[in-house]
Amino acid sequence: MNYTDLATHLLDLGERLQKHSRKIEGDKVGRSAKKLAQAVERFEDTLDSFLASRKSGELLLETMLRSPSAKRHLTVELLKKGLREVAGKRLQAEELSAARKEFVEVLHANEKGSQGGKFLRAAFEEAACVEPGGKDKVSLQREFVRLGGLSDEEYEKEIVKRTFGELRRLAATNGIKFTDRTGKQRLMALIRRFAIRAAMNISFDE
Amino acid sequence: MSARVLAFINFKGGVGKTATVINIGATLAKLHRKKVLVVDLDPQSNSSVWLMRPDRWRQHVAKGQRSTFQIFDDALLGKDRFNFDDAVVKGVETWTGFTDLPRLHLLPASVELLRIEDRIHELRAPANYQVLERALGARFKEYDFVLLDCPPNLYSTTKNAVFCADNCVVPYVPDYLSLSGFHVLAEQVAELREKFSGHLPGRRKPNIGALIVSHYRQTGNVFRLAINELEISMANLQAIGLLSQDAVLLEPYVRHCVRVAESTSEHLPVILYAPGSIGAQDYSDLTQNVLNHFDSTK
């Protein structure tokens, strides 16, 4: 059922009730009507609160705070920055859940819920952005494939000229995992192995 | 309103086409307040049964009515039974029995779509790949985004989707089998672009605009190396003109998440079913980057 169906149902019911209201009698229908009236009242409160929060922008704030992005990107520092920028206030809490509560309360008191929601949305957008690797990455990937196409002798000759730092950069850019304890010889062997694989695997593009 | 129409294609199965369509669509609708239409073109009807309870879906598309099948069937029989307003399902039914995500609309598929391939040759080119555009093109204007969930092949329904689309998006699992298939896919899309070019006056030619990585695992070297090989392959394909210069590998990579699998049984997108899960977080950030990328290339 959707809300339009519910609205139609309530309108139909209202019309029938109105039409027969003076003829209805008895405990059974009275008890049921009482329950319905209580449920309608509760629903009205919920609906009014939803519509008010939508109008004031509180809904956007709530949606942002409950979003998957909040789980990943929301920090006390971000909330502090937000409160300072949006309401010119200082956030006191140092723990995330308390900070979150204070953030909402202060914004609510200052009627800045909408701006708070917009601040969080912009912050989450910025946090989700990924900078492209740039030309350096592309050239290191090309170099990797070229190394994979060399014979063992050619590779030996070329690779020994590289500094340890250059090798680490080449390996890291091309997805090779290593640790601080990985030595130069081991790194050269890893680069050789995976460069041959990359050259072979992308050969159908040539 | 001018919709951005994206066709999610890959002839390899199990790469996360449907999960990507559903979860990006839901995130656009919920968090970015975009009006989104998901068009299910796969006879397996996975998008449809993800967003609809199976009994409601069966009743809705009984005998292929009110589904994408009817669009093709009408074109083949020269009939005009398909009614968009009757066919489209608005919002997602939650456990309360009421709908949520009112901005997310679905045009469901039915299994009868399986029969279309055997009959579509009755229509001559270009009519055989313009069926979808002719039936839905005018309605696309009512949306911000139209996401076409294609079957795992490059047959007629997928060709129709590519013809309609501003861009293709390729969901991708980082392994060698996907890598080898991607080259063929890029060639096929380039071929379609040539084939369609005379029939798309004043329009962008369909191309692969983005790749999206699914089922990613951070353990070990395996996936990082496979993604590196994909990036190298993309650069090579761009160099030889088989892939557009605008094509990017979008991040973040969507990690394997059991909550996404569970959300299919609840018939809800993961951002409604488990908003705190890593799946929801990945799709949320990914959707932001889908918006940024396709806004910048519009």
3-class secondary structure for B114-155? HHHHHHHHHCCCCHHHCHHHHHHHHHHCCCCEEEEECCCCCC
Residue of A132, A104, A131, A120 lying closest to A68 (CA atoms): A120
Query: Which ipTM was obtained for this model?
Result: 0.78
Instruction: Report the alpha-carbon distance of residue A202 to residue A194 in Å, rounded.
Output: 12
Gap between the Cα atoms of A63 and B298, Å rounded: 28
pLDDT at B96 over 80: yes
What pLDDT is attached to residue B165? 93
CA distances from A59 to A53, A55, A118, B208 (A): 5, 8, 11, 37
State the CB neighbour count (10 A cutoff) for residue A18.
Answer: 9
pLDDT tens digits for range A43-80: 999 998 888 887 777 888 989 999 999 999 999 999 99
For chains A and B, what is the number of CB pairs under 8 angstroms?
A: 108
Residue B203 has pLDDT above 90, yes or no: no
Of A6, A130, A198, the CB nearest to B228: A198
Find the residue in A nearest to B218 (Cα). Answer: A177
Q: Which tens digit of pLDDT belongs to each residue from B108-129?
A: 999 999 999 889 888 887 888 9
pLDDT tens per residue, range A151-177: 999 999 999 889 999 999 999 999 999
Q: Which fold has domain B4-296?
A: Rossmann fold (3.40.50)
For A128, which of B98, B276, B285 is closest by C-beta distance?
Answer: B285
Q: Is the pLDDT of residue B297 over 80?
A: no
Cβ <8 Å between A2 and B98 = yes
Contacts of B180 in chain A (CB under 8 A): 201, 204
Interface of B to A at Cβ within 8 Å reads: 30-31, 90-91, 97-99, 176, 179-180, 183, 220-221, 224-229, 231-233, 235-237, 240, 248, 251-252, 271, 275-277, 280-281, 283-286, 288-289, 292
Return the residue of A nearest to B227 by Cα.
A175
Q: Is A63 on the interface with B (CB under 8 A)?
A: yes
Chain center to CA of B266: 21
Does A182 contact chain B (CB < 8 Å)?
no
Q: Among all residues of chain B, which has the CA nearest to that of A202?
A: B233
Closest to B252 measured CA to CA, from A144, A73, A107: A73
Supply the mean pLDDT for chain A.
91
Element (DSSP H or E) covering residue B171 = strand B167-172
Q: What is the pLDDT of residue B73?
A: 96
Say yes or no for a CB contact (<8 Å) between B275 and A125. no
Say if the Cβ atoms of A202 and B233 lie within 8 Å. yes
pLDDT grade, residue B81 (50/70/90)? very high
Structure tokens belonging to residue A58: 């509180």
Closest Cβ opposite residue B31 in set A67, A138, A176: A67
